[in-house]
Structure 1
Amino acid sequence: MAGRRVRTPRGLSAFAVVGAAALAVVLTMAYGPIGATAAPGGAPDLASMVRAVSDPHSPLYRHFETPAQVAQYMPTGLWGSARSVPGAGAHLMHPQRIVATAAGDAKTCSDYFGQFASDTHPALPGGTTAKGQGWPPVPTPLAICGYTPDQLRSAYDTDGDSGSGVTVAILGAYNSPTMPADAERYATDHGDAGFTDGQYTQYLMPGAWTLQDQCGVDSWAAEQTLDVEAVHALAPRASIRYVGADSCQDPDMLAALARIVGNRMADVVTASWGSPLHTAEGDEPASVIATYERLFQIAALEGITVNFAAGDCGANLPDSGCGKGLGSVRAQTTFPASDPWVTAVGGTSLAIGADGDSLWQAAWGTRAWELNGTTWKPLGWVFGGGGGASEDFAQPWYQVHQVPDALAQTLLDGQPAPSARRVVPDISLDGDPFTGMLIGQTRSDAGGPVQYGESEVGGTSLAAPLLAGLEADMAARADVWGPVREGLGFLNPALYLLAGSSYLTDVTGVVDAAGQISPPISGISTVFAAFGDDGPLTATPGYDAATGLGTPGEDFTRALDRYTER
């Protein structure tokens, strides 16, 4: 069968066709013994089955199963009774979203990177750049107002891709009362088409909302708005299904995720929330972690791609402001992004020039100073993309040849790991709120009237749905997938095979600008935000714990062409 791919009909399982015993032989030849978790009679365990359909080198690559076929693996007690999930002490999940400023005008911010600059600000005493300039250097670019959809499409080289025929599910909590009207207005105001009939659908979980005060309903509404508008920006013809949980607590989030997976509601799932596993409230129960992971594996077996934001607090250091806010008790990664069966999406600072091209990118990490009269007051390290070695998950097979041993075998507290660990992120996109996306939402600012307005928003909450839009573009390419679309499935094994290619742009930490100055806007003081300081997470050539494999490069949406025919 050399040169041709063997396809299994959508309604017929590849595992049923091959047979349990024969499949076990195939998996063993390819990957070694399938382990003690194999089912009786030689049938492979779920993890081995998922690996077989996810690995481009496997003869069963992309032979996905239907919802009816995966029903036997679904956890019980989730649908319709979310709070019955075992494990006391389940955590509250947090949106990974940061608002930089309200949208300004040409006098206070730039439409593209470097359009305007400040040349009158004072320098920090004794501070110099690598080129010997004063710190901040003169001139220093003024912060952008927020990138628009056409700028992001240009920077990420979508080249007319639209995501047509692909469905993206956004997994959040609660629901914004002004969606999809806000997304419709935002799109048309920026020259894009709004939603066609049925293109945007909301699915809210049965039962009353709970824990609104603890979770922050307004914050989740803003998160929903960001996710919808970001996906629509990069995949304007993809269908979007928003699934809102009854709260931000694990059991409700799991119930919403189970609804998506159990019914295969989408080809791509994006989620911009998470939490450290070890907090002042206690450790996340092992049963909850196991339920998440099982749902991720079932999603992959169905051909669903799942992205999670890697977090906005770097290594979640407990002595940092954001680490304290999350209740982190030690340096650690953010879950669920740290789970090896999802794609963890980190953040970059993205400079888009006047022609729409990406000028450069840096690892997103912000150290800032506030101008107080003629003196810069240090604000310290503020936030940055999440990453590092997970103490909770072992190294997955797809990272073995790309992640340096020094990263995989060293925990974020600096101690040696007992064995090689899962390292995040996998890939990174624009997440810096000072180089973020302009988002439109109806809301009340500082107790003022409720009205529609636009603001610049970032965080890995932006990076994750941007990747989902690119994945929808990738899956929609008819000349790649043929007449029957089966989905991309779990993307990581293919992503790591792209390392070093032009499809990925390595983020090395070398940038052409020291930072940006954000002038006073809506009562916010002048701030100098330096680029590329993500605390203990450092961008280096090759895979690193600040940006992973790098960021989507030229023709990224065509990157999997080589794996579609066997």
Structure 2
Amino acid sequence: MAAAVTALLTLAVTALTVGLATGVQAAPRASASAVTTDFGCAHPVQAGQARCFGVMKAHRTASGRMSPFTTGSPTTVGYVPSDLRSAYKLGGTSGSGRTVAIVDAMDDPNAASNLATYRRAYGLPSCTTANGCFRKVNQSGHSSPLPSGDYGWAEETSLDLDMVSATCPGCHILLVEANSANTPDLMKAEDTAATTSGVVSVSNSWGGSEDNTITSADPHFHHSGVAITASSGDSGYGVSWPASSPYVTAVGGTSLNKASNSRGWTETAWSGSGSGCSAYEAKPTWQHNSGCAKRTVADVSAVADPNTGVAVYDTYNDCGGGSLCDTELKLGVAQGADGWVQVGGTSVSSPIIASVYALAGNTSQVVNGSYPYRHTSALNDVTSGSNGFCGGSYLCTARPGYDGPTGLGTPNGTGAF
């Protein structure tokens, strides 16, 4: 894998028919034409490149192409910061002064302005380069030169920045942009992110298939005192790397819905969440599930289903914005997005968990993904749902206790992190 993070198959486009519960600030029930589609950075790529794990609510055009549902309102598309902090009992917590780093490929030229719009829409504290809260650097840690822009990766970047903002509004954010989606560039960016002063956690919402080179690249995720998270994938049952690295917290995905129970929410395993038994990584000493002799994915989880997705603001496109651009995006003849979109995928759950680590403030004790295993009582156990076919095994089927798609569960406050 050090030489090649091979591309995963793109998630099959499926009909989106699940509406969100009444009272949640989220998109209304989808029409019959609603579908989901992976970001542009998730399309098949050359061997040796990673893909990101974002899935966008979209619609199929008359030509058969998919384009994002875009809305001018931040309250009619996906879960908002108050929803996420309610679902995971994060009220009253603050990561002030701590930095969450995001590693992505290529440049998002509109990252700072989009971030400002998102935070302003939900009354979050300003996070700008001027006030020292936000920094964007290249893989070597410098403000220039930055990589060339990419519409798909820009959507991923907007998602990551918005989820850190939603989960830990007081955190600082460092965006490290790799020159490409090739493994060596991403590893350089990873080391830069993890060794930058003030960084307590690093989120990676990308990955690829395992191969016999991955263990040689694992040391890039081994940074004592820095919690590193990695998305488990969005193509269902199957293992991706770096989620399978023993030095990361592998983050799976759930479907999250408002409920009338004591928690106020319910969760089930998301069908697209990656999981399974690694073919190459040795079993960590802190993992004790008996159905897999090697490293098992995932460790924990958070919302990822695009049908119960989150609100994201992204305006990087090749049509220049405005009503004509929106029309071109709807027709599928332009790339990118032009406003508020609803997004899912384990690209959502990874930055959420990295931010919960920052809120907890315990990363001085973190050397790998073991910490949640010692604090399972502070997690919401997810006990239903499946992401594929594995003979009914826990590797693809949620159950009480540990399972592959959702790991040990989702945050119930910060105690497990």
Instruction: Give the TM-score normalised by the residue count of structure 2.
Output: 0.74
Cα deviations by residue, 1:32-79 (Å, 9 ceiling, x for unpaired): xxxxxxxxxxxxxxxxxxxxxxxxxxxxxxxxxxxxxxxxxxxxxxxx
Residue in 1 that maps onto 2:398: 539
Q: Name the residue aligned to 2:325.
A: none
Q: CA deviation at 1:255?
A: 1.3
* Residues 165-244 of structure 1 aligned to structure 2 (within 5 Å): 165-195=97-127, 197-205=131-139, 217-244=150-177
**2:374 maps to which residue?**
497
The one-letter code matched in structure 1 to 2:414 is T
Aligned to 2:347: 461
The equivalent residue for 2:85 is: 153
- Name 2:229's counterpart in structure 1: 307
Which of the numbers 296, 299, 316 marks the counterpart of 2:221? 296
1:488 and 1:176 map into 2 onto residues whose CA distance is: 33
CA distance in 1, matches of 2:23, 2:10: 25
Structure 1 residue 91, shift from structure 2 partner: 2.9
Q: Which amino acid aligns with 1:558?
A: G
Q: 1:100 to 1:454 in 2, by over 3 A?
A: farther
Q: Does 2:412 correspond to 1:506?
A: no
Shift of residue 156, structure 1, vs aligned partner: 0.9
Return the alpha-carbon distance in structure 1 between the equivalents of residues 342 and 263 of structure 2. 19
Query: Alpha-carbon deviation of 1:391?
Result: 1.1
Give yes or no for contact 1:315–1:387 (8 Å, CA) kept in 2: yes
Q: Is the 8 A contact 2:21 2:257 kept in 1?
A: no
- Cα deviations by residue, 1:462-493 (Å, 9 ceiling, x for unpaired): 00001112111111xxxxx7xxxx73423532
Q: Which moved more, 1:446-455 or 1:339-348?
A: 446-455
Contact 2:102 2:161 in 1 (8 A): yes
In structure 2, C-alpha distance between the alignment counterparts of 1:434 and 1:337, rounded to whole Å: 23
The runs of 5 or more residues in structure 2 that have no matched partner are 33-75, 318-328, 390-395
Q: Match of 2:388, as an amino acid?
A: G
- Per the TM alignment, residue 180 of structure 1 is displaced from its structure 2 partner at its CA by 1.2
Q: CA RMSD in A?
A: 3.5
Pairwise CA distance, 1:226: 0.3
Give the letter for the 1:471 counterpart: Y
Structure 2 vs 1, CA of residues 175 and 167 (structure 1 numbering), >3 Å: closer, same or farther?
same
Q: Is the 8 A contact 2:194 2:202 kept in 1?
A: no
Distance 2:146 2:259 in 1: 44
Q: TM-score, with normalisation over the residues of structure 1?
A: 0.56
Deviation string for 1:183-241 (max 9, x for gaps)?
1111111232221511000011369778x7xxx92111110100000001111111100
Query: Residue in 2 aligned with 1:395?
Result: 283
Is 1:428 equivalent to 2:301 in the alignment?
A: yes
Separation in 2, partners of 1:308, 1:547: 13
Q: Secondary structure at the match of 1:169?
A: strand
Instruction: Give the structure 2 partner of residue 364 of structure 1.
Output: 270
Which residue is 1:91 aligned to?
5
1:147 alignment partner, SS class = coil
**Partner Cα separation in structure 2 for residue 440 and residue 432 of structure 1:** 18
> Partner residue of 2:189?
256
Distance of aligned partners of 1:208 and 1:443 in 2 relative to their CA distance in 1, 3 Å threshold: closer
CA distance in 2, matches of 1:356, 1:236: 26
* Deviating 4+ runs (over 6 angstroms): 93-102, 113-118, 207-210
Residues 250, 209 of structure 1: CA spacing in aligned structure 2 closer, same or farther, 3 A cutoff?
farther
Q: Conserved in 2, the CA contact under 8 Å of 1:99 and 1:455?
A: no
Matches within 5 A, 1:42-121: 90-91=4-5, 112=24
Where does residue 314 of structure 2 map in the other structure? 441
The Cα of 1:506 is off from its aligned counterpart by 1.0
Amino acid at match of 1:496: Y
Task: Give the aligned length.
Answer: 348
- CA pair 167-435 structure 1, distance change in 2 beyond 3 A: same
Residue type at the aligned position of 1:359: W
For 2:250, the equivalent position in structure 1 comes to 344
**Which segments of 5 or more consecutive residues in structure 1 lack a partner in the other structure?**
1-85, 121-143, 278-283, 317-332, 366-383, 409-419, 476-480, 510-531, 561-566
Preserved CA contact (<8 Å) 1:94 1:248: no
> Alignment partner of 1:341: what SS?
coil
Deviation at 1:163, TM superposition (A): 1.1
Distance 2:387 2:194 in 1: 34
- Inter-CA distance 225–449: structure 2 relative to 1 (3 Å threshold): closer
Aligned to 1:549: 408
Q: Deviations over 1:387-407 (max 9, x none)?
A: 01111112111012xx2x2x2
The residue identity in structure 1 corresponding to 2:136 is Q
Correspondence 1:471 to 2:357: yes
